[in-house]
Amino acid sequence: MHDAEHTVVLPSWRKLTYFKPEEKNTIMLVTDKKTGKQEQKAIHEMFASVWVGYDPVKLYGGKITENIVQSTARDIMYEGQIRISKEHPSWFFLWNAYDEVIFEVPDAETKDAKREIPYWLCNAATWLRVAPRSRRRSVRTVHEVGDNLMFTQSKIYWTSTPARLLPRGS
């Protein structure tokens, strides 16, 4: 590879960039399990930096796939957080970590929050409706924490079942 960077376009159209990608051929000494003999074997590896100025790390298909899936999940959660904040300004967004989103919700609006937060976390990313994909199914879990905090978990699974959007209020 001769480019200074390699870019993967995510379904949200955000770009995931690998800087200074390079290929390396390494000679390793491998022991045959049956015969016990050692022989040299050429290993072809890819390296790239995921942040500007950092040392390259080893890349392989599974790692690149993991980066794409996690970045897409982050985009879905972010779109949901933004939409919830716009639709319900009285619900204060506190923080998120991985697949968790925490909002501070007035006591009188807890019932609405239990319905609306999972809905928007699963349906706010309108770009998902036109993104190339297999099928989509949403799984939702809502737990109350304290008097007015909500912990909401939303996961997207790629399945072979027909795609559907959750009806509002389900």
Q: Give the residue extent of every domain in the chain.
A: 5-59, 65-159
pLDDT digits (tens, 9 = 90+) for 67-124: 888 888 888 888 889 999 999 999 988 888 777 788 888 888 888 888 888 888 888 8
Q: Which of 55, 58, 57, 56 is nearest to 45 (CA)?
A: 58
Contact 50, 16 (CB under 8 A): no
Residues in the chain: 170
Q: Give percent above pLDDT 90 in the chain.
A: 11
Would residue 13 be called left, alpha or beta, if left means φ above 0 and alpha means ψ between -120 and 50 degrees? left
pLDDT, averaged across the chain: 75
Distances (CA, A) of 40 to 25, 29, 33, 34, 37: 12, 5, 14, 16, 10
What does pTM read for this prediction? 0.65
DSSP 44-95: EEEEEESSTTSPPEEE-HHHHHHHHHHHHHHHHHHHHHHHHHHH-TTSEEEE
